[in-house]
Amino acid sequence: MFSDIWYKNAIIYSLSVGSFLDSNGDGVGDFHGLEERLDYLQGLGVTTLWLMPFQRSPRRDHGYDIVDHYSIDRCYGTLGDFVAFTHAARTRGLRIIIDLVINHTSDRHPWFQSARSSPDSPHRDWYLWSKEKPANADEGMVFPGVQETTWTWDDKAEAYYFHRFYKFQPDLNTANPAVQEEILKIMGFWIQLGVSGFRMDAVPFIIMREGANVTGQELQFDMLRNFRAFAQWRRGDLALLAEANVPPEESTEFFGRDGDRMHMMFNFPVNQRLFYAFATGDARPVAEMLDATRDVVPDTAQWGIFLRNHDELDLGRLSEEQRDRVFAAFAPDPSMRLYGRGIRRRLAPMLGGDRRRLELAYSLLFTLPGTPVLYYGDEIGMGDDLSLPERDGCRTPMQWSADPQGGFTTADKPVHPVIRDGDFGFHAINVAKQRRDPQSLLNWMERIMRMRKECPEIGLGTNRLLDTGDPALLALRYDWRDNALVVVHNFAGEEKSLILEPGEKDCTDQLVNILSDNHSHPDEAGRHHLTLEPYGYRWFRLGRGDHLRE
Ligand code: NOJ
């Protein structure tokens, strides 16, 4: 049954517990609040929730600086609340994926505190130390401009320690077998508490051999196979979703040639080209990346397709010229840019709140090859708060209603401020208002998710590009068993006509529009003459009616 490989056709929704719903009025979202909103999420149509880190943490990096991997931060609730929540999710058929942050810990983690206290500490070799400052200490920072170095002196340890990210996030020495064993224990713990998978943070750095005297970029891929083997022994249908922003040709090694490493990876190459296409109307680089990322995926593996997430929109792999064009369109003010490579905005404000462009973007999210991953609040077109530092601007609380604080909390001062004013403030953009409006983005999202679920060809089938003869048009055909689906998108702000040959020559099949009555009949040569409105999109079933045949 195709549903056995559940992650191939899941709809993933990522959220931070602290920003979702506060149930006890302390100004921070919590597991009780999230549990209260499970009916909303189920009704929306998502099938899987990805929770960003909620373990105990000083939260200097949105929780990606953990001090106890086996805990729930007190402000979110208790382990008991977590188990009650996963149970409530399961009763609604929702799966839970959590972040697995094991490239580094917080510098306040007891392991690091022990490691720095003495060279004889049992945890000394859990981190990476150097008596001298390594020659390459000022290279390889993930947050350039904010982070100054990757090796920082520690007075207590009397040595430098390595940190790929901020200096309060010392890297674990993942090559150490004791550390690897601990990582498995952490996975085992959360699996036992009911999670269906992990979003593995910073995967290329986890497997990179690092240290003061290490040269080159040797990657320890076997580690990924071990993680997977362990996870699947514990839970057969567990899925690992890797955050690895690597070029297409390197992805195969992360998936494993035999499909024995990561089940899923985010498709960063397609993501970056999509934004280039939104900015310029030129979809050719997207098409190139769809070709480049197609055959690198083993049969049982899958891409995660996404538009925005809790980080900056990373454009680091575009050419400088391409990046400049995206900056000019979506981040004209330098304060909107980050780390020299990214944009710290949400999608809706980038697209000027233009409903046509938003529908185009989300129609692509739900029809490009892979599993869609949606960022909380994007279903209502939430905006950002650029007065907040770095990436916090697009992590503001969920806007539920026009009540004070957008219905997120009864506290006067939420820990993270709610967006209050302007076109994207909670009076203008909130769930309650959109739920009542049949034409709202929220109701459109619900419907498009329903259609995505009726199109398993996208997650399970083969796909190929169809010739459109126009750089602004992208057409894809999916085939699975006896079914075929054709999707067409117009990236231009003007009407476009095209002649499409979706099948073999002389094919008499009609294109059944599954979103409207606007079907298309072929001419004698099997060609379809289509006209798409500015930023228009079409989802067609080829041949028989609009239902899938099993
Ligand atoms: C990637 C996460 O998405 C990001 O938010 C975080 O800052 C780094 N990894 C470090 O954990």
CA 544 to ligand 1 center in whole angstroms:
46
Q: Do 128 and 211 touch, CB atoms closer than 8 A? A: yes
CA 535 to ligand 1 center in whole angstroms:
33
| Mean pLDDT, rounded, for 299-328 | 98
Q: How confident is the model at residue 198 (pLDDT cuts 50, 70, 90)?
A: very high
β-bridge partners, 219: 208
Q: Which candidate in 61, 81, 201, 311 is catalytic? A: 201
CA distance 266 to 7: 13
- Using a 6 Å cutoff on CB, does residue 99 contact ligand 1? no
CA 436 to ligand 1 center in whole angstroms:
36
β-bridge partners, 304: 266, 371
The β-bridge relationship of strands 264-266 and 302-306 is parallel
* Torsions phi, psi for 478 (to 5 deg): -110, 145
> Regarding predicted confidence, which is higher, 111 or 544?
111
Burial state string for 390-416 with b = 16 or more CB within 10 A and e = fewer than 16: bbbbbbbbbbbbeeebbbbbeeeebbb
Find the angle CA(535)-CA(46)-CA(266) to the nearest 5 degrees.
Answer: 70
- Using a 6 Å cutoff on CB, does residue 61 contact ligand 1? yes
The widest CA-to-CA distance across the chain, in whole angstroms, is: 81
Q: Give the nearest ligand 1 atom to 309 CA.
A: 3
Q: What pLDDT is stored for residue 505 in this prediction?
A: 65
Which residue has a Cα nearest atom 6 of ligand 1?
Answer: 64
Does an H or E element contain 538, and which? strand 537-542
Q: Which candidate in 99, 107, 210, 243 is catalytic? A: 243
pLDDT in tens, 226-285: 999 999 999 999 999 999 999 999 999 999 999 999 999 999 999 999 999 999 999 999
Q: Do 55 and 76 touch, CB atoms closer than 8 A? A: no
Q: Is the dihedral of CA 368, 372, 373, 378 positive or negative?
A: positive
Q: Is 243 part of the annotated catalytic residue set?
A: yes
pLDDT in tens, 479-523: 999 899 999 999 999 999 999 999 876 678 899 999 999 999 999
Q: Is 201 part of the annotated catalytic residue set?
A: yes
This prediction has a pTM of: 0.98
> Regarding predicted confidence, which is higher, 4 or 192?
192
β-bridge partners, 485: 478, 541
- Using a 6 Å cutoff on CB, does residue 268 contact ligand 1? no
